[in-house]
A and B are shown apart, each in its own frame.
Chain A
């Protein structure tokens, strides 16, 4: 018999449910003047004491963005965004200068992260996990820094990296996602405030899970973080991000960029548990999660693996992708996207095969409930020189109720006839008959849904580090509360 993870007891959470991360921390914020123009960008850059090259790059991105139009091709609907009616920089006041040690953090901020299950104090740090905690536009704490630096690993906030390691930043920023890439990547490049930076030197296997926890707190702000991970030759790193935001009536924009670079024989595993505020049951409020994530397998035999569990956000629009440039390189994408009530998700991946003998694997699980719309959009592209490229894609949809929608948009472009590309898709529905059958065996409706959803998502959840897999399972169950009966 296969070892299976215990179906967790979700009843307690279900009864108290609603979005439990929806509280607001009462701290003073330092804000940039509302609106977006070159002065806003100069303000942000100055706040962060950035070198000149960074400001120049931001301004170029901004000028480019001004020429662009918001893309319309995704299968999502939302009213026009007024980019002038938002704050582009919000920092918890006391940490404008980042505290030198964890003990100096504003107790209010520390309590916020404790409430979110991310202790930042020296005594109670999460075992085996180094955390960079980002609130609104700035990183407020990074744990285990010294321990990591002994191995030559750099793990710090993006702002700090720009100041302390400008050469690395200059070399790699925008190298995978140039600011010209798309509308939201351009916007991010202009106004990005913080995020995580990570460099793993040659031959080092990072002994800890690196993790960033993103928290939006201030109202009427956008969050634009930028994450850059570089795994040098023969190195390995597993990185995890989590995110939450308070309950607010307004829609807040989150436009992040993540760039991964895996050199020869290196491996990067990137996991996301995304739980931004999804909006209420009538579809009011919630985060617009418009994110560009891309990794390049630069060297031979390198590997990049994306795992994502997407349960939050009013609208999710993201396609973590892999450019398989090195020969024998491997790209993977494991995704569970759950939408409920009026949530919309248009998510998937791009696997760009350039090198020889490159392999990619896509496992996408979409769960739709309520009146939500859930789309998988994926591209498998095999270039002329990519001899013997292989792809396997599997797209499964699970529907709960009859008012939601599941859509798949798989694109395949093959320019080399030695390629093998496989695509499988299934659609299942949790019907009244199934629920009654479970009830008749003594299983409540909520537990029945939990059981099916966990079974449906298992292949993806198994990719997550253990503690996060349990958390993600719970999250899936909570997010479906109220979707039946």
Chain B
């Protein structure tokens, strides 16, 4: 059984069609990259998967680990192991990274009928995971994302990913706004977390990230659909030729 199965997904925002029949299947152990020009619907896809309210689901189904995702609240999707690394991570006042993560980890453990982690174990795990993204200890006591630089926010997303150990992680333009060093740190973090049991959907504009997080599949999202799919070489082709050839090809099919 595939981990994620999206079938003929059609989604509107304020009456405007954004996704127009998108299908995608992701299996455990796989990394899928979704690329595409601005406004093609990439972030909408991420938002729909996570359960953001602003969308109108017109048609189609999404199964996550065999369950109909539309019947699950955003928090239950997270507890079942769906993680979204936000394109624009949110700042939370007055809550330290540490207590935020402790609450999240223990909520998820409770959902899975596991005992809450005690303070010592939690601290140990947290320090371990912080190292994965080269996060300083002081980072943990600061309010979530408040006063963080763009790079720090993105590293914090990957730190949270490492803490929560999801089955499926969606990285929504995690590379945007990162310099090359931060990009390497973030990618390294992801590579250390990946294994044969989890899967990643990496949404990005640029091939650059895919040098570090090497995908098994690359899809091009255009006009609300995945119009071209291929192996990692497709990313290089896009980098070289841009998206125009796809637009032309696609539009000629339409005409």
Contacts and interface: CB of A to CB of B under 8 A. Distances in A.
A438 B50 contact: no
Contacts of A441: 78, 100, 104, 160, 164
B95 A437 contact: no
B84 to A, nearest CB: 5
Nearest to A5: B99
B99 A451 contact: yes
B74 interface: yes
Contact of A443 (B53, B84, B90, B107): B107
* Chain A at the B interface: SS class: helix
A6 to B, nearest CB: 9
B191 interface: no
Interface residues of A, number: 24
Nearest to B88: A433
A438 B75 CA distance: 8
B131 interface: no
A480 to B, nearest CB: 14
B93 A439 contact: no
A45 B77 CA distance: 66
B103 A447 contact: yes
Contacts of A452: 92-95
Contact of B100 (A439, A445, A451, A456): A451
Contacts of A456: 93-94
Nearest to B166: A442
Contact of B94 (A428, A437, A440): A428
Contact of A1 (B51, B94, B140, B160): B140
B141 to A, nearest CB: 6
Given A1-B98, A1-B141, A455-B94, A439 B73 contact: yes
Interface in A421-453: 428, 433-434, 436-445, 447, 451-452
A134 B86 CA distance: 54
A436 B74 contact: yes
B108 interface: yes
Contacts of A437: 86, 89-90, 92
A443 B75 contact: yes
Interface of A: 1-2, 4, 7, 398, 428, 433-434, 436-445, 447, 451-452, 455-456, 458
6 contacts: A4-B96, A398-B93, A441-B160, A442-B111, A443-B107, A452-B93
Given A398-B94, A434-B92, 12 more contacts: A7-B103, A434-B90, A436-B50, A436-B53, A437-B89, A438-B104, A439-B75, A440-B84, A440-B86, A441-B164, A442-B108, A443-B75
5 closest Cβ pairs, A-B complex: A455-B94, A439-B74, A437-B90, A428-B93, A442-B78
